[in-house]
Amino acid sequence: MLRGGCQRVGARLRGLRRGPRGPAEIARRGVVSCIDPSMGLNEEQKEFQKVAFNFAAREMAPHMAEWDQKELFPVDMMRKAAQLGFGGVYVRTDVGGAGLSRLDASIIFEALATGCTSTTAYMSIHNMCVWMIDHFGSEEQRHRLCPPLCTMEKFASYCLTEPGSGSDAASLMTSAVRQHDHYILNGSKAFISGGGEADIYVVMCRTGGPGPRGVSCIVVEKGTPGLSFGKKEKKVGWNSQPTRAVIFEDCAVPVANRIGDEGQGFLIAMKGLNGGRINVASCSLGAAHASVVLARDYLKVRKQFGKPLANNQYLQFQLAEMAARLVASRLMIRTAAMALQEEREDAVVLCSMAKLFATDECFVICNQALQMHGGYGYLKDYAVQQYVRDSRVHQILEDEKYCCLQSWSDWSEPACP
């Protein structure tokens, strides 16, 4: 009996040495099942996630390359998406929004980004702008501005960054001087997504002294005299959304278009960016998820040395590490989204951490997927290169490290603890 027992233990130990564990276990079970984005969701969330995935596959993915190469802004597609509630995902229902949570929004944007990351990123910015009006605007402003934005009859752009103020957003110089019942705006905004195409510009401008307390938020509508736009920027990615400078030259805007009180603009801008960071990180998730699937499928069909690359253990382990990075990023983003929805004290830092971590990790995933494609991955015939280009900018915009590190000692309601 003792000898038999030892033999059984020895067999188990040998099985542990050669059996599937860690990366090999992921490879054995299948990468796609391990990165299933529906895990942990309730039935309602699974249902609208399915709707978003189907929409992305049907209405976005077949046109993604054309939008990128021809630099087309897919207005008709976005209006179709708005019919499903994707124009105002976390906007209140009385003004046409879907009334969903921040977690729900993350789930939707991740799914849509598998079809076109660039276009979904713009849609997420649009959603952020509509929420800012819905949350901080008056009842008159909410009911006047939000309904056409939720249907995407009109499009919105977020105007914070200036040529001389990027991460140091509180040093912005665009001025708004009050004259009777109007503000006269002068200055310019840089790198504005949707610039020139959008109908509503949510503008942070200086109505008071230096620093964050002097900033107000004003809605400027397209066609206002004194509003103009710079040339369309030529970008590495994000080509389905136009990017231009937005210029104000003695641009007269009614005081009725100010969102919130004077001096509240910087708080509004930062509150918007809390959700914006979750949104753009979710777009990175979608790009990374699609890239993992593309890499897996390519490894199955590409043969070298007489066998599929999928049989190569080194590549199996790399694919497993990509899956682990993706799942870790998704968990971090969803944790932050729930914290923001619950208005927890740690929500701002969690949103910043999630954006920092996920955009970095997801870019690594996309880039590794391209590498697995070899020379083919560098051709525009293969979608993986577009996910790389479109997700790269997510590591640059909405600077989360600044938010985590900056001291807001002069701000009564800090954007970060």
Active site members? 398
What is the three-state SS of the chain? CHHHHHHHHHHHHHHHHHCCCCHHHHHHHCHHHHCCCCCCCCHHHHHHHHHHHHHHHHHHHHHHHHHHHHCCCCHHHHHHHHHCCCCCCCCCHHHCCCCCCHHHHHHHHHHHHCCCHHHHHHHHHHHHHHHHHHHHCCHHHHHHHHHHHHCCCCCEEEECCECCECCCHHHCCCEEEEECCEEEEEEEEEEEECCCCCCEEEEEEECCCCCHHHEEEEEEECCCCCEEECCCCCCCCCCCCCEEEEEEEEEEEEHHHEECCCCCHHHHHHHHHHHHHHHHHHHHHHHHHHHHHHHHHHHHHCEECCEEHHHCHHHHHHHHHHHHHHHHHHHHHHHHHHHHHCCCCCHHHHHHHHHHHHHHHHHHHHHHHHHHCHHHHHCCCCCHHHHHHHHHHHHCCCCHHHHHHCCCCCCCCCCCC
Looking at residue 240, its amino acid is S
Nearest to 246 by CA among 326, 160, 133: 160
Looking at residue 286, its amino acid is G
Looking at residue 68, its amino acid is D
Q: How do strand 200-206 and strand 156-159 relate by DSSP bridges? A: parallel
CA separation, residue 406 to residues 212, 332, 414 (Å)? 13, 22, 10
Distance linking the first and last C-alpha atoms of the chain:
65
Looking at residue 389, its amino acid is R
105 neighbors 275 (Cβ within 8 angstroms): yes
Looking at residue 259, its amino acid is I
